[in-house]
Structure 1
Amino acid sequence: MSAFVLLGAEVLAVTVLVLGLYFPRHRRRDLMVAYFGVNIGVLAVADALRTTGAGAGLGLGFALFGVLSIIRLRSTELDQHEVAYFFSALALGLLGALDTASIWRNIALMGLILLVMAVVDNRRLFSRYEHQTVVLDSVVTNRDELIGLLEHLLDGKVHSARPLRVDLINDSTVVDVRYSRTSSRAVAPVSPAAYAARR
């Protein structure tokens, strides 16, 4: 009976993770499918390995976790927060299959994962801090001048500005910028007619 309780808790946890946290915040349907598939797949394999022997199943389960975490599904580029959701889905799958002395410990760890993801992926947390790759239509090699120009363009305080490419032929500079906004001014929506007039 305890195994079914743990299984139900795991399915509930991954549902909250994907449908309650990830999808409402990021709206990527393809990764929503991937998170469910990876979680249930890891849960099934880890449970099958566990039944082959307590020690062997546990060791192989952690080996599976390590292999899947290294692969990171290289067919598409993932943001770091999406990688974090993959780790969480993998961890929930393993916690749902590992045989421990108390199932409540596993359930508590599942709750801890959900709580951490709910807090650290909250858009209100450090919402002023942003990261962009900026392409300037001029060559800027002086660091102070570069930071001053970026702070004017982005209306914020630049914390890091790393030039990625300086093109002397096409007269451009590509910069990786991490900054915080100094104002929360609202941007009025632009109608299609006004956009056409600007061009």
Structure 2
Amino acid sequence: MTPTALILAGIDLAAILLLSFGLYYRRHHRRDLVVAFIGVNVGVLAVTTVLGSADVAAGLGLGLFGVLSIIRLRSSEISQREVAYYFAALALGLITGLPQTNPWPVTALAALILVAMWAADHPALLARSRHQVIRVDRAITDEGELRAELAARLGGPVTSLTVQELDLVNDTTLVDVRWKAAISTGAAARQLVGARA
């Protein structure tokens, strides 16, 4: 490995540790995904470093994204947030593994990925937005009535809803609902303090 490749590997290692432990684990506390993010990142870095020449770089990147998409579809269900962390880990490994003569543009791109993930997954961003799948103990066919019922039960305005199942026999409705939670001044202050942590 060239000295530049070693520098880039160090940048990648620092970036993935910051992404996994500093951002993801600190906010979401899933140890299994920390292992997955680091494993994907280091694996992509190793493969890209070995195979990364100017002739195969674009194809290699697209191929790795495709392979990991297939793996993701066949693994246990994860949230869209965790998919974003997977692809950030993949992108970090890919950009730092490709042959470079100057490590600074790659360092800037890695920093951009980290800052984007920090900001996009920040607890204060869209803090009132909530999502839940709820089973209502009545079969409600009218969307306006269902919206009002959910708003009353959830304590905030419903922004969207999708009826997943309407059971007229058992008198239930299964709804995928998104709403804005009411937030008090004290809760807002506590949330702001938690977001800064």
Residues 9 and 48 of structure 1: is their aligned pair in 2 closer, same or farther, counting only changes over 3 Å?
A: same
Q: Which residue of 1 aligns with 2:195?
A: none
Does residue 114 (structure 1) correspond to residue 114 (structure 2)? The answer is yes
1:2 Cα deviation after fit: 1.6
Q: 5+ residue gaps in structure 2?
A: 188-197
Distance across 1 between alignment mates of 2:164 and 2:186: 30
Corresponding pairs, count: 185
Distance across 1 between alignment mates of 2:140 and 2:186: 30
Q: Which residue of 2 aligns with 1:191?
A: none
Q: Which residue of 2 aligns with 1:10?
A: 12
Q: Name the TM-score, length of structure 2 as normaliser.
A: 0.88
- Larger of the two Rg values belongs to structure: 1
Partner SS state of residue 97, structure 2: coil
Q: Name the TM-score, length of structure 1 as normaliser.
A: 0.87
Does residue 27 (structure 1) correspond to residue 34 (structure 2)? The answer is no
Distance across 1 between alignment mates of 2:186 and 2:150: 20
Q: Which residue of 1 aligns with 2:123?
A: 123
Distance across 1 between alignment mates of 2:56 and 2:183: 57
Partner SS state of residue 14, structure 1: helix
Partner amino acid, structure 2, of 1:5: I
Q: 5+ residue gaps in structure 1?
A: 188-199
Distance across 2 between alignment mates of 1:174 and 1:78: 21
What RMSD over aligned residues (CA atoms) do the two structures have, in Å?
1.7
Partner SS state of residue 75, structure 2: coil
Partner SS state of residue 169, structure 1: coil
Q: Which residue of 1 aligns with 2:138?
A: 138
1:143 Cα deviation after fit: 1.2
Write out per-residue CA displacement over residues 26-56 of structure 1, whole angstroms, 9 at most, x where no aligned residue. 1111111111111111111111102xx4312
* Identity of matched residues, %: 46
Partner SS state of residue 55, structure 1: coil
Residues 13 and 59 of structure 1: is their aligned pair in 2 closer, same or farther, counting only changes over 3 Å?
A: same
1:37-186 paired onto structure 2 within 5 Å: 37-50=39-52, 53-72=53-72, 74-184=74-184
Larger relative contact order, structure 1 or 2 (CA cutoff 8 Å, min sep 6): 2
Distance across 2 between alignment mates of 1:175 and 1:59: 42
